[in-house]
Structure 1
Amino acid sequence: MTMPVTFVEVVEVHRITPRTARITFAAEELPDTVGTTPDQQLKLCFPRPGQREPRLPARQDDPMGWYRAYLALPEAERPLMRSFTLRGRRPGTRLVEIDFVLHGDTGPAAAWALRAAPGDRLGMVGPSALYAPKVPFAEAAAAADWVLLAGDETALPALATLVGALPEGVRAYAWIEVADRTERQDLESRAVLAVEWLYRDGAAPGALLAGAFRDRALPGGEPFVWLAGEAGAVRAVRRLLVERHGVPKAGIDFTGYWRHRLTQDDAPTAEDLADARERSAGY
């Protein structure tokens, strides 16, 4: 199984909230499987200063060969890489939509998105079925008594695709932390979905999400839980659900998308490594 590696070109930039840009890209190549399932993860490659477009690693037959090829590029030419979730694909086309959280002119992705215009080019690695969950989301949701999804604005692209994939009649709850009321987004779902928005209004990132379940009574039965967002907040929510509410670890799918005051280029902390071990063990 090869990992898709291709160039993508900006076709349209749309500010869907004051702090979120939805950018439509035309991909030079795109497998038919892209956009057919929710929560598809990919990586975008950003050009180095002075480059019009990034230099991409050569495609490899080995699924992880692309990463070895990436590391083999001279550091001065190696593209800056960040992880994203596919927000959608326009049916019958090679057009894909990816949401960018505009959190300032600091990181390479947000800085690029603030200035993105039609014709700009990036590289895209993935999505790949290699990283699909062993049990499809809709199947796991249908087997549970109810579904809980929780995250911050960085989790919204994935969360929106997940609630859109929920089968009709499934009872689902979503808790979403965002900067303020202007960052709300409409969520479409066939499920019986209740959404609670948590507005930071200047509070520290993750603080409201981490505290949302401390004294909250949850429905009875066994849920399927999906958590994503700031790593410390995800860790705190997961701990509360397990220790206070008795949710089995095996019923929680969790991912720390970002770390407060750290970037993807910084080394993993001891807690990051512990989370990775638990995820790989299937908890």
Structure 2
Amino acid sequence: MTAPDLRPVDVLTVVTVADVTPSVRRVVLAGSADAVAAAGPTVNLLVPRVGDPDPRWPQVARDGRIVWPTGAHGIALRSYTARRQDPVAGEVEIDFVLHGDGPAAAWASAAVPGARLAVAGAGTLGERPAAQLLLVGDETALPAITRILGEADPATRGLALVEVADAAEEQPVPAPPGVTVRWLHRDGTPPGASSLLADAVAALEPFDGPEVFAWVGAESAAVRSIRADLRSRWGLGRAQHHAIGYWRLGREMGR
């Protein structure tokens, strides 16, 4: 029974599963309009164990805290970016990177229509409108980069640097005409062991003008290096950049 100050989490059901690249699986989930509207752009996913037909879902307090059931429950909390959400159709689209053997990658690898997961809370991407954009990320940040570019003003200019394993991992990324999407291939280097993103940013001349915003999402060490460059050499203040470690080497790739 749900206490008066708690509510159930929003449970979503898998509608379709598709492999868009060798390491990225796109899962479309269905739920109520309210649940879908609340599920993003950055959403807390409650991921059950593979094959668990009746997960012990937590509840949500009035202040947004997740209240976990006592004892073992087998639910993992992971933060992801919804690549697309459509409250009218009641759909949320999430891309899972299948590197590693963490709970989210395992769930996505086994996901079939009818499987369930839940959402509890959401956040923003941290982006801000600007005349010039620098977007930097690996495959875990590609849904966020795609959303940012899809919502950008058509007159926006800039560059998106995206690190992936190889050419087979490239995806269509619609962008304003003035924004170039540049792919960087690891070509056998393991995720998190490459300096491609930091080197690519270091090789750039800082954009001219005050209307510049940089957004960075990748492995934590790479993000720290790029953030330092943006603050020092580029001279970007707090309001001009958002840099977040999406995952850490040795841990499951998220987002």
What is the TM-score with the length of structure 1 in the denominator? 0.78
The residue that corresponds to 2:151 in the other structure is: 165
Q: Cα 1:189–1:20, aligned 2, differ >3 Å: closer, same or farther?
A: same
Give 2:95's aligned amino acid.
D
Query: Which contiguous aligned blocks of 4+ residues in structure 1 show a shift greater than 6 angstroms?
Result: none
Q: Cα 1:3–1:247, aligned 2, differ >3 Å: closer, same or farther?
A: farther
Q: CA deviation at 1:190?
A: 3.5
CA distance in 2 between partners of 1:249 and 1:58 (Å): 35
Q: CA deviation at 1:243?
A: 1.9
The residue that corresponds to 2:237 in the other structure is: 248
How many residues end up aligned between the 2 structures? 245
CA distance in 1 between partners of 2:36 and 2:53 (Å): 28
CA distance in 2 between partners of 1:171 and 1:20 (Å): 28
Unaligned runs of at least 5 residues, structure 2? 1-5
1:200 aligns with 2:196: no
From 13, 16, 31, give the equivalent of 2:17: 13
Contact 2:21-2:170 within 8 A present in 1 as well: yes
From 206, 219, 233, give the equivalent of 1:218: 206
1:82 aligns with 2:82: no
What is the TM-score with the length of structure 2 in the denominator? 0.86
Superposition RMSD on alpha carbons, in Å? 2.4
Contact 2:36-2:86 within 8 A present in 1 as well: no
CA distance in 2 between partners of 1:259 and 1:24 (Å): 26
CA distance in 1 between partners of 2:168 and 2:246 (Å): 22
Q: Cα 1:233–1:156, aligned 2, differ >3 Å: closer, same or farther?
A: same
From 110, 120, 127, give the equivalent of 1:125: 120
Give 2:29's aligned amino acid.
F
SS in 2 for 1:213: helix
CA distance in 1 between partners of 2:209 and 2:109 (Å): 45
CA distance in 1 between partners of 2:34 and 2:95 (Å): 18
Give 1:148's aligned amino acid.
L
The residue that corresponds to 1:147 in the other structure is: 133
Q: Cα 1:4–1:57, aligned 2, differ >3 Å: closer, same or farther?
A: closer
The structure in which a higher percent of residues are strand is 2
CA distance in 2 between partners of 1:147 and 1:210 (Å): 17
Which range moves more in the overlay, 8-17 or 181-190?
Answer: 181-190
CA distance in 1 between partners of 2:49 and 2:23 (Å): 24
| Aligned counterparts, 1:16-95, within 5 A | 16-28=20-32, 30-31=34-35, 33-34=37-38, 40-48=41-49, 51-64=52-65, 67=66, 69-70=67-68, 73-90=69-86, 92-95=88-91
Q: Which has the higher contact order (CA 8 A, sep 6+)?
A: 2
Q: CA deviation at 1:215?
A: 2.7
Q: Cα 1:197–1:45, aligned 2, differ >3 Å: closer, same or farther?
A: same
CA distance in 2 between partners of 1:33 and 1:46 (Å): 19
CA distance in 2 between partners of 1:201 and 1:118 (Å): 33
